[in-house]
Structure 1
Amino acid sequence: MVSAVENTGSKPAAWGAVLSMALCVAMLIASEFMPVSLLTPMAEGLHATEGQTGQAISISGLFAVAASMLVTTAAGWLNRKWVLIAMTAFMLLSLVLVAAAPNFLVLMAGRALLGVCIGGFWALATAVIMRLVPTEDVPRALALMYGGQAIAAAFAAPVGSYLGGLFGWREVFWALTPIVAINLVWHAVALPSLPAHRKQDFRAMLGLLKQPYFQRGLLACMLSWGSAFTMFTYLRPFLEQVTGVDVTTLSVLLLLLGCAGFIGTWAAGRFLKGNVAPFLKLPALVMGGATIGLLLFGFSVAAVGFFMAIWGAMNTMFSVIWMTWMSQNADDAPEAAGSLMVAAIQASILLGAVIGGLLLDGISIEATFIGSVVLAVLAIALIGNGQRLLKPEAI
């Protein structure tokens, strides 16, 4: 395990930098998944089907996969502070392209650029956190950083849905741009210099991929994320077609889902300590169960709100659980592990959006949710008690 002194370079924990990264996480999540809450008006405005418009999420996932594998190696000896700043600048440009997109092609180009930002940022994020705070504070710092996810989940989707109904979907994306610009300046001020310790190459990634415990963990992570986003990408069509909600009720339900995320963030920071194995199957188990609940009781707004709250609480714990697993089981090669984890997660989001869209357009929205449950069951079966996903000396 990397020592606390090595992690922080003999400096105090840089909590201001952690907060800056938390805001970046909030903006990334808001930017990446805003089409979920605006899927219907975006499809109408671009003269496309909802299934096709859902690919605005899959295209960002595709480019995120590529970027996550390449950024840590292509950046070479570049200072990680300036790489993170560059990724945030890409996010700002992406939002401008999407908001001003005259057609579907330009929209997809903007989303592809966002994918580069997503892949690059997340590939470095956990490794950077491990350098900003002492080892014992890493789970707490990860929970704080992913608090940005809770904020985005709480407010981005419902506010986006509501404002989109009032002013139009383009204005929602324009509204994000000044916040990202502020975050860009905050990065420059708060992040300490983060010189590369060593030049990354693909050999470190291949070394990790040869480890059976890491292979199993990566596949389990992919199945869990694939399950979550096969459902989440097409949540709005489900709520409109099955539950029969209007825009106001949709916004309230999305706000409930998001606010529940604060409970998940609090729980992750409080209970996620020591052995992470018992927690690994919780995301697939709880979120898959909530999806079954939506399928069975989707006709009831109250029941839907209940299951969405459960899903939202686990959603924010999800990332902390799996990134803690990574930090504990690949601490000797955190950037290589981060690249592989982000590639796996984004590939899962991509496939979830593609498969879910095909099931939605080809069969029904219920078929999309059933596909999500199937992936959750496979994840639970692979994880078991979690011990086989741990590095031998960590067991």
Structure 2
Amino acid sequence: MSAASPPSRLVILLLALAGFASMASMRVTDAMLPALSQAFARPVADVAQNITLFAIAYGVMQLAYGPLGDRHGTLRVIGLATLACALGALGSALSDSLSMLLLFRTLTGATAAAIIPLSMAWVGDNVPYEQRQVTLAHMLSGAVMGLITGQVAGGFLADTLGWQAAFLLLTLLFLAAGGLLLEALRRQPGLSPAKSDLGRVAFVSRIREVLLISRARRILVLVFLEGIAAFGALAFVATHLYERLDTSLTRAGLMVALFGVGGLLFAALARPLVARLGEPGLATGGGVLMGLGFLGLALATLPALATVSAFCAGLGFYMMHSTLQINATQMAPAVRGTAMAVFAGCLFLGQSVGVSLGGLILRLANSTWLLVGAGLWLLALGLIFAWLLRQWHGSRAAVSPAS
């Protein structure tokens, strides 16, 4: 399918469904950490390793899925990987020890790694640049709904049917998403042609091609730092609210789910926000909202304040992250699948570092300091990104008249 062709609504819907399952799986244990701690008789910092290992596997495997997507077709790789996720989810549900759970969560992270970055690469290959940010926002709304559902369902099912039920539901969801996507591809093979000419390009050479680009290196550093602070801290927010507000896991999960609702609002308003604020404005506003949101979560003494704070943090995150994404799609157009895989890998390797740092901080201090630090970190990051965007746009404007 050429870049000039209109994107298939069916493909975008199925990619959103697969992204939903991926993000639900990634965040499903956030609100159930206290329940897992009790089930395995281990501290919260120990059971939180399941999030760290998921994120490490997710990030490292980007380096494999990018070239695979470029060579064999992005949709085919996504469909097969989604079915493989079902095995990891089923194994997690059947785990009777923490080590077994960690093993299958690592497997799920390794296979889920293909879904969202290769979905972004497909959009980059098939949607014109001026429509791409809005299309990405709409497609990724499925991923945001997965984030919300994972956080809410994780806490609710841990409170009611037991934590294993959440993984059984994920097993069914992955089977449905992967099966439907492969069936759509079987009916329309042209949706995802393989780029056979890229098959001769060495794996390391593709990654090197991305890393040699100065702007690409800056974007990758920014998204790595974003992953450390935003996703790293988010893993502990439900536990923080559960302990600070003395509430149930279900209510804590519901409050944190407003992070994803903020993302849905951005997806709904993406077109007017992009037109009114521009990329630097989205980065600045996103940094400010994330800073205020995480500070509010750290200091909240009432559920209402925590809920509003989670919403602000989520809206801010998606304002800034979508702007990083749109710039990432142009980092290396010749090997876009690899470029987007490296981008996503940096984000989730950042998450793994963030969760590890968070666990260390919780051993030395309380979770309030963790969330305060994340808020200040993200505020500074948004302002730095906005400054870089103004520089890049200024350079582009200076070159255009001369060309």
Q: What is the TM-score normalised by the length of structure 1?
A: 0.89
Task: Name the counterpart of 2:295.
Answer: 292
Deviation at 1:211, TM superposition (A): 2.5
Is residue 324 from structure 1 mapped to residue 321 from structure 2 by the alignment? no
Residues 51 and 80 (structure 1), Cα distance of their counterparts in 2 relative to 1, 3 Å cut: same
In structure 2, what is the Cα distance between the partners aligned to 1:269 and 1:144? 10
Deviation at 1:310, TM superposition (A): 1.1
Give the AA of the match of 2:335.
Answer: A
Task: Name the counterpart of 1:195.
Answer: 194
Deviation at 1:213, TM superposition (A): 2.1
Deviation at 1:12, TM superposition (A): 4.1
| Corresponding residue to 2:146 among 141, 145, 152 | 152
Residues 175 and 289 (structure 1), Cα distance of their counterparts in 2 relative to 1, 3 Å cut: same
CA offsets 1:259-289 (integer angstroms, 9 cap, x no match): 3332121122443359634323443332122
Is residue 111 from structure 1 mapped to residue 105 from structure 2 by the alignment? yes
Give the AA of the match of 1:114.
Answer: T
Task: Name the counterpart of 2:236.
Answer: 234
The range that moved more, 264-273 or 231-240, is: 264-273
| Corresponding residue to 1:348 among 343, 347, 350 | 350
The range that moved more, 169-178 or 284-293, is: 284-293
Task: Name the counterpart of 1:88.
Answer: 82
In structure 1, what is the Cα distance between the partners aligned to 2:174 and 2:25? 10
Residues 270 and 333 (structure 1), Cα distance of their counterparts in 2 relative to 1, 3 Å cut: farther
In structure 2, what is the Cα distance between the partners aligned to 1:270 and 1:290? 23
Q: Contact (CA 8 Å) 2:55, 2:352: kept in 1 or not?
A: yes
Q: Secondary structure at the match of 1:284?
A: helix
The range that moved more, 30-39 or 75-84, is: 75-84
In structure 1, what is the Cα distance between the partners aligned to 2:90 and 2:250? 27
In structure 2, what is the Cα distance between the partners aligned to 1:75 and 1:261? 27
Deviation at 1:319, TM superposition (A): 3.9
Deviation at 1:92, TM superposition (A): 0.8
In structure 2, what is the Cα distance between the partners aligned to 1:213 and 1:131? 20
Q: Secondary structure at the match of 1:19?
A: helix
Structure 1 residue runs of 5 or longer lacking an equivalent are none
Q: Contact (CA 8 Å) 1:67, 1:116: kept in 2 or not?
A: yes
| Corresponding residue to 2:213 among 204, 211, 214 | 211
| % identical equivalent positions | 17
Task: Name the counterpart of 1:50.
Answer: 44
Is residue 64 from structure 1 mapped to residue 58 from structure 2 by the alignment? yes
Task: Name the counterpart of 1:7.
Answer: 3
Q: Secondary structure at the match of 1:6?
A: coil
Deviation at 1:163, TM superposition (A): 2.1
Is residue 97 from structure 1 mapped to residue 91 from structure 2 by the alignment? yes
Residues 339 and 193 (structure 1), Cα distance of their counterparts in 2 relative to 1, 3 Å cut: closer
Give the AA of the match of 2:245.
Answer: T
CA offsets 1:98-117 (integer angstroms, 9 cap, x no match): 11112112111111112212
Q: Secondary structure at the match of 1:204?
A: helix
In structure 1, what is the Cα distance between the partners aligned to 2:239 and 2:273? 35
Deviation at 1:135, TM superposition (A): 4.3
| Corresponding residue to 2:226 among 212, 224, 237 | 224
Deviation at 1:55, TM superposition (A): 1.4
Q: Contact (CA 8 Å) 2:282, 2:319: kept in 1 or not?
A: no
Deviation at 1:392, TM superposition (A): 5.2
Deviation at 1:241, TM superposition (A): 1.9
Residues 283 and 97 (structure 1), Cα distance of their counterparts in 2 relative to 1, 3 Å cut: farther
Q: Secondary structure at the match of 1:35?
A: coil
Q: Contact (CA 8 Å) 1:127, 1:335: kept in 2 or not?
A: yes
Is residue 338 from structure 1 mapped to residue 340 from structure 2 by the alignment? yes
Structure 2 residue runs of 5 or longer lacking an equivalent are 186-190, 399-403
Q: Secondary structure at the match of 2:301?
A: coil
Q: Contact (CA 8 Å) 1:7, 1:133: kept in 2 or not?
A: yes
Residues 145 and 96 (structure 1), Cα distance of their counterparts in 2 relative to 1, 3 Å cut: same
Give the AA of the match of 2:116.
Answer: W
Q: Contact (CA 8 Å) 1:68, 1:339: kept in 2 or not?
A: yes
In structure 2, what is the Cα distance between the partners aligned to 1:230 and 1:241? 18
CA offsets 1:124-177 (integer angstroms, 9 cap, x no match): 222112234444432232112211122123333123311220110001111122
Q: Secondary structure at the match of 2:160?
A: helix
Task: Name the counterpart of 2:188.
Answer: none
In structure 1, what is the Cα distance between the partners aligned to 2:330 and 2:395? 12
Task: Name the counterpart of 1:27.
Answer: 21
| Corresponding residue to 1:183 among 156, 159, 177 | 177
The range that moved more, 147-156 or 69-78, is: 69-78
The count of residues paired between Structure 1 and Structure 2 equals: 388
In structure 2, what is the Cα distance between the partners aligned to 1:269 and 1:249? 33
In structure 2, what is the Cα distance between the partners aligned to 1:170 and 1:136? 44
Deviation at 1:207, TM superposition (A): 2.7
In structure 2, what is the Cα distance between the partners aligned to 1:305 and 1:299? 11
The range that moved more, 23-32 or 320-329, is: 320-329
Q: Contact (CA 8 Å) 1:59, 1:350: kept in 2 or not?
A: yes
In structure 1, what is the Cα distance between the partners aligned to 2:107 and 2:393? 35
Q: Contact (CA 8 Å) 1:216, 1:389: kept in 2 or not?
A: no
The range that moved more, 374-383 or 43-52, is: 374-383
In structure 2, what is the Cα distance between the partners aligned to 1:388 and 1:276? 12
Q: Secondary structure at the match of 1:77?
A: helix
Q: Contact (CA 8 Å) 1:39, 1:53: kept in 2 or not?
A: yes
Give the AA of the match of 2:236.
Answer: Y
Q: Contact (CA 8 Å) 1:64, 1:118: kept in 2 or not?
A: yes
In structure 1, what is the Cα distance between the partners aligned to 2:351 and 2:115? 16
Deviation at 1:25, TM superposition (A): 0.8
In structure 2, what is the Cα distance between the partners aligned to 1:18 and 1:202? 30
RMSD over equivalenced CA pairs, Å: 2.5
| Corresponding residue to 2:305 among 300, 303, 307 | 303
Q: Contact (CA 8 Å) 2:290, 2:312: kept in 1 or not?
A: yes
In structure 2, what is the Cα distance between the partners aligned to 1:293 and 1:13? 40
